[in-house]
């Protein structure tokens, strides 16, 4: 075998030591890469071989899942119930607040009306009291004047009727004598001169009393008389009669 290149054959060159070294290194490198690849595949490849699972572990897992599902369902139900309860409570609170507001409003209106009513009653009571006091004041001022006016009118009326009823004076004298049996004779009867003119003959004719003495007294008003004995004196003056009547009526008023 010839170690030299021939022109009519393939180009051939002699191998050098460098070429042999590089070729050897290349083979070693490829060998290392293959080993590394095998190592990496052995470490990274999943282990498809599993240990057998016991039934207790399966039951525990299922029980745990069940508890988790129940807890989740409970929480969801709790949240939903709380939301619905909140809405219902909100509505109930609104209705309760509305009713309570209406009740408080009515109570406040009633209190205001009662206050106004009490004020009105108090004002009316004061008005009536003041009105009654005014009437009492008017009575104190007017009634005595009206009373005096009525007495004056009665006096005038009686005075004008005295001429028609002259016998009334005779009856008055007889009544006084009968009501006072302690009167002792002789009796002195003092009369107004005008009354004495018609009364003396009439009285003597009816009574025929010798112990009676008629005396004209201008100080005695017409219609009045005064009876005097040794032990007693009775004044039946018209002014005294009116004063007695007036005092008696005033006492009845008060």
pLDDT at res. 56: 76
pLDDT, tens digit, 9 for 90 and up, residues 235-252: 777 665 555 555 555 555
What was the pLDDT predicted at 45?
46
> Would you state the pLDDT for residue 94?
73
Res 32: pLDDT: 57
The token pair that represents 182 in the structure block: 């302690």
Stretch 216-222: mean pLDDT: 86
Q: Which of 169, 226, 160, 158 is nearest to 202 (CA)?
A: 169
Q: How many CB atoms lie within 10 A of CB 212?
A: 18
Among the listed ranges 4-18, 131-145, 147-161, 196-210, which one has the minimum average pLDDT value? 4-18
- Would you state the pLDDT for residue 234? 78
Q: What is the average pLDDT value for the chain, to the nearest integer?
A: 69
In the beta sheet, which residues pair with residue 236? 225
pTM attached to this predicted model = 0.32
**Backbone conformation region of residue 110, classed left if phi is above 0, alpha if psi is from -120 to 50, else beta:** alpha
How confident is the model over 227-236, as a mean pLDDT? 78
Mean pLDDT across 98-104: 80
User: Is the pLDDT score of 69 beyond 80?
Assistant: yes
The winner for highest mean pLDDT among 7-11, 18-22, 30-34, 212-216 is 212-216
Q: What is the CA radius of gyration of the chain?
A: 76
Strands (E), the chain: 187-191, 212-216, 225-228, 233-236
Report the candidate in 153, 146, 139, 140 with the shortest Cα–Cα distance to residue 242. Answer: 153
Q: What percent of the chain has pLDDT over 90?
A: 0
| Best CA proximity match to 12, nearest among 1, 28, 23 | 1
**Per-residue model confidence (pLDDT) at position 108:** 84
**Mean pLDDT lowest for which of 39-48, 168-177, 210-219?**
39-48
**Does the pLDDT of residue 19 top 60, yes or no?**
no
Residues facing 233 on adjacent strands: 228
């Amino acid at each position: 075998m010839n170690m030299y290149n021939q022109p009519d054959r393939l180009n051939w060159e002699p191998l050098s030591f460098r070429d042999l070294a590089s070729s050897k290194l290349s083979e070693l490198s490829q060998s290392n890469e293959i080993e590394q690849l095998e190592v990496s595949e052995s470490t990274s490849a999943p282990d498809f071989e599993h240990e057998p699972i016991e039934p207790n572990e399966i039951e525990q897992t299922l029980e745990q899942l069940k508890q988790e599902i129940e807890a989740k369902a409970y929480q969801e139900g709790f949240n939903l119930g709380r939301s619905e309860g909140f809405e219902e409570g909100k509505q109930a609170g609104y209705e309760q607040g509305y009713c309570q507001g209406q009740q408080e409003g009515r109570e406040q209106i009633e209190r205001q009306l009662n206050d106004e009513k009490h004020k009105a009653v108090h004002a009316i009571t004061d008005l009536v009291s003041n009105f009654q006091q005014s009437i009492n004041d008017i009575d104190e001022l007017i009634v005595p004047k009206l009373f005096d006016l009525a007495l004056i009118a009665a006096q005038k009326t009686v005075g004008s009727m005295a001429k028609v009823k002259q016998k009334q004076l005779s009856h008055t004298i007889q009544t006084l004598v009968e009501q006072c049996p302690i009167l002792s004779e002789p009796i002195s009867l003092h009369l107004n001169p005008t009354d004495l003119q018609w009364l003396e003959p009439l009285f003597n004719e009816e009574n025929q009393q010798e112990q009676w003495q008629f005396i004209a007294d201008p100080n005695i008003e017409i219609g009045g008389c005064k009876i005097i004995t040794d032990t007693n004196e009775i004044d039946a003056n018209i002014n005294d009669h009116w004063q007695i009547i007036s005092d008696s009526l005033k006492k009845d008023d008060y």
